Chain A
Amino acid sequence: AQSVAQPEDQVNVAEGNPLTVKCTYSVSGNPYLFWYVQYPNRGLQFLLKYITGDNLVKGSYGFEAEFNKSQTSFHLKKPSALVSDSALYFCAVRDGTNDYKLSFGAGTTVTVRA
C-alpha cells in the first residue's frame, strides 16, 4: 500500500525567511511525487512533480523540492517566503510501476507573517 505523511499540521514563518514543508512517502515501486497548493476558497493547483532524473525539482512560484530516496522524503522549499504563500500544501505519491492510484497527505497549513 502507498502512503504519504506530512508530519507538521502547521508551519509558521516570517516573510523573507526560508520555508520548508516536510513530506515522507511509502510505495512498493518507483515513486512519482507531487506537491499541490490550495488557496482559501480556491481549488488545488499543481506546484511541481518528481518522476525521474535530477533530485532537485523546480516548480511554480519559486518553489522547489528535493527527492531523497534513502530517506523516502520529498520536502518542499522556498528560499524566501511571501505573505501570499500562505495556503494549504499537499504532498502526493503514486507508485510509478503500478496503476494510476494517487494518494495525498493530510496537508500542511503554511502561514507567512509580514
Chain B
Amino acid sequence: DGGITQSPKYLFRKEGQNVTLSCEQNLNHDAMYWYRQDPGQGLRLIYYSQIVNDFQKGDIAEGYSVSREKKESFPLTVTSAQKNPTAFYLCASTGSVGKLFFGSGTQLSVL
C-alpha cells in the first residue's frame, strides 16, 4: 500500500537530548512537510522540502533540523535547543497542487 510512515508512534526525550523522528513515503511525491500540532494552535509548519537536497524553514523552525537526502525520506531532529518539544508531530507529502497525504503522527514527550 502506498502511504506515509512515521515512526515511532511515541517518543520520549530526556533533558539535553536530541531525538529524530522518521518519515518515509512511497508515493513518489516531490514535496514533504513537517508540522507540529498543539491543542488550540492548529498545525504549525516547521520545515518543508520541495525537492531532494533542498528544504526551507517554516514558521517555527528554531530548535529543529531536517535533511532530505532521498526523495522518500524526510527525518526531523528535535534538538536540545527546542525548550518546549512536547507535541504531536505530523509529516505530510504532496506530488502536485495541494492535496497533502499525512502520516499517523508521532507524540513526543519530555521525561
The answer on A and B forming one complex is: yes
Q: Which residues of A contact B (CB under 8 A)?
A: 6, 9, 32, 34, 36, 43-46, 49, 51, 90, 92, 94, 96, 99-107
Stretch at the interface among B15-23, B62-70, B77-85, B92-100: B92-100
18 extra interchain contacts, Cβ-Cβ under 8 A, other than A34-B98, A103-B59?
A: A32-B97, A43-B102, A43-B103, A43-B104, A44-B92, A45-B102, A49-B98, A51-B97, A51-B98, A90-B43, A96-B97, A99-B56, A100-B31, A101-B56, A101-B58, A102-B100, A106-B40, A106-B41
B93 to chain A, nearest CB (A): 10
For the complex formed, measure the closest distance between the CB of B26 and the CB atoms of chain A, giving whole angstroms: 16
CA distance A46 to B101 in the complex (A): 8
Cβ–Cβ contact B42 & A49, under 8 A = no
Count the B residues whose beta carbon is within 8 Å of the partner chain — how many? Answer: 26
Which DSSP category, helix, strand, loop or mixed, fits chain A's interface?
strand
Q: Which residues of A lie under 8 Å from residue B40 when comparing CB positions?
A: 9, 106
Q: Which residues of chain A are within 8 angstroms of B94 by Cβ–Cβ distance?
A: 100
Nearest Cβ on chain B to A44's Cβ, whole angstroms: 4
The distance from the CB of A84 to the nearest CB of chain B, in whole angstroms, is 20
Decide: A43 near B99, CB < 8 A? Known: A9-B40, A100-B48: no
**Is the CB–CB distance between A90 and B100 below 8 Å?**
no
Question: Roughly how many angstroms separate A99 CA and B97 CA in the complex, as a whole number?
Answer: 11
Chain A to chain B contacts (Cβ below 8 Å), 11 pairs = A9-B40, A34-B98, A34-B100, A43-B102, A43-B104, A51-B97, A94-B98, A96-B97, A99-B56, A101-B56, A104-B44
